[in-house]
A and B are shown apart, each in its own frame.
Chain A
């Protein structure tokens, strides 16, 4: 049986009407609605693919405050997870990526009663100021092979290997697609362009069944949810939260609001005649004028 984990992140919903800022211009986390991050959602899709194709069992984990439960629920709809884990403890506060990775590592090791996880998926990065390091650091702590920017993968269950395609884009060079084979276990960060493709009848039927199962499961998320604190995770307080974070933020630069240098004209769309000049302008722009 293939065991798959997804590490997700609860992120502020930056869409209009949901985001809220403090008077000093910083994000007001308490007031801003939180959702499952779009990159995390793609990672959930990859886990769901493993479920449909290889009958995998899925466990989702996240570090965050108790409100992170809603993101776990969203992750369960997408991945039909059999297990949801919330790593929540005051002692985790102020964690940088390394301290976060420590929590996640212990969390992953405890999934499915300590049954070894074959693949850990995480999003490419988070959209609220994370630098894409949590994934690689967690992989390193777990001692798993790390595969970044994966756009496609297949698994050979018998040989216990994964074949993956990853995109490598370097500035000034053509984008390369690298094909790699690696023994399990692996830690995969999924590229945002990843799409699960189910192209046989049985896969489609299985996907439908699992989706149905997922929508039943979320009716009672509590049944699947485990809340683990530092103690239950058997974490060393020196390695988590602020004490475990070597990153020192010595000053936060307020990003000055960019001056608008665009001129905007409001066009009333209810009168079709107003659109003619817009189209003319668009044509001019497309011609490079």
Chain B
């Protein structure tokens, strides 16, 4: 049987960082990823932060992937603006939260994981190969066993192999945690549910619309009626030539008031501010009814080609690389490109009746659970010779508008790599030596503190930002809170009291419909500006959204329902983002083919990831 020092299970941002760091510490490690290639299984919002903290060391992305990360990595935009929009119908009240975003931040980029993690993988495997390690994709780890002092890794695709230690970076629905009973499944109380669509929008239009320069980006958060009465909110991040529009809701809140995830997205899109943000000029073809069927089809195919040319040219014209069109020699200057675009547009319109209307273009629909670290981080993120990192360890920061998982996973990865490297050097993989040391390193992380207690400075900053909003005049019930906010002394006392009581006691107060829905709606109603949309977006149906996804089907289901009659499973009929569940008689039945592996049904099922290379293949993530 082959033997290796370290196996990292899971090639998301956390696992790849662990591989890079271990290899840079001159240790040999292999990484096993179930997806057919890196990046196809990972979903984020997402903003990748680099942070600093006076009270402790944070290991950031640039510490792992090089100080030239910001200039070399395929990141989207440097987030410079951070705005919170309170919504109520067509009334929007916006608060500039940029100081909150800047708090303890070195930099933050919007990212698409299927663009970024393959780059991580390239650097990590380059380092790993120097020490005989590397990345293996398309392999699903199905079991771990300890036999005769050996840790044996079993997969669906390869011969068993032995390892001396494991880093479990297999995400929120960690099978390694289940197989080893290192932790129970996360309960709906402990996690958030995220759903997102990627929207196409030409680069220059993004810059013009959001008032950005060519590398800058902005983040927009939404709370109020768009939540359909749930605890959580929406987000819109500008990428280079796309937008990430999504929503995150406390899973418990969705369970008590079930709604289809795609409807949560639709609700965002219908908001006039958002529909104006995503608006683009889109082609609308007519049916050519007068023609014979055969001719209709011919015209259809011909027009498709012309529309494709039009779109490609238009996207290039509106991109920052538009001068390449001139360099290629096809055009003399940008004016010529513009007139070519106009002439195709004219042809499409005059000859084929194609109209150009305001609408928007969705590229990808995705969904995933997110750990709320303050509720579910593993107190002991290790088991025997296995160290858990990132989402697998339930580690993520979820506080108010803050969602941070990527940076936390990277910080964990470095700590795990340091601990394992020490074990290799001293040839001691005993859980007391390896696991406890890793635990102590993780406990030193400022992120762990952030997941354990309220950061008074952060909250203070937030309260400073909202203190001038005349909330008392809006609703007298808020006056007491307002007094506390306005008075620094009272603020300090109440924060200390809150920390004394602990997160668990005060969470129901902070994370409630009141904070996420009612207060924002009140603000918008009383103080907001009216925003009207100039068009009605035609929103794809869920079947359209699913049809646009790519899968490699497995005839065998990776999920088995425990109790087909349970109330929980009945709720999944609505809550599964791709409607995999339906009712047959009294039984909830599963059709696994459309599964996007979000993990929402995992509490009521025997839940595994699909076998290697099978299942969803995200193109953006």
Contacts and interface: CB of A to CB of B under 8 A. Distances in A.
A264 to B, nearest CB: 10
A205 B139 CA distance: 12
Interface string A194-231: 00000111101100110000000000000000000000
B158 A199 contact: yes
Interface size range of chain A in the complex: 10 to 19
A263 to B, nearest CB: 13
Contacts of B293: 266, 268
B152 to A, nearest CB: 12
Contact of B134 (A200, A205, A266): A205
Contacts of A208: 125, 134-136
B198 to A, nearest CB: 24
Contact of A266 (B2, B4, B133, B297): B297
Given A200-B2, A200-B158, A202-B2, A209 B134 contact: yes
Interface in B148-162: 157-159, 161
B30 A205 contact: yes
A193 to B, nearest CB: 19
Contacts, number: 36
Interface in B140-170: 157-159, 161
Where chain A touches its partner, the secondary structure class is: helix
A199 B133 CA distance: 16
B327 interface: no
Where chain B touches its partner, the secondary structure class is: mixed
Contacts of B30: 201, 205
Nearest to B294: A266
A5 B107 CA distance: 53
A201 B135 CA distance: 10
A201 B129 contact: no
Contacts of B294: 266
B2 A209 contact: no
B479 interface: no
B213 to A, nearest CB: 35
Contact of B296 (A200, A205, A268): A268
Interface in B119-137: 125, 129, 132-136
Nearest to B292: A266
A201 B4 contact: yes
Interface in A235-289: 266, 268, 270
Nearest to A198: B158
A258 B56 CA distance: 79
Contacts of A266: 293-294, 297
Contacts of A268: 293, 296-297, 300
16 contacts: A199-B159, A200-B2, A201-B2, A201-B4, A201-B136, A201-B161, A202-B2, A204-B158, A205-B30, A205-B134, A208-B134, A209-B129, A266-B294, A266-B297, A268-B297, A270-B300
Interface of A: 199-202, 204-205, 208-209, 266, 268, 270
Given A209-B129, A266-B293, A268-B297, 4 more contacts: A201-B2, A201-B161, A204-B158, A205-B30
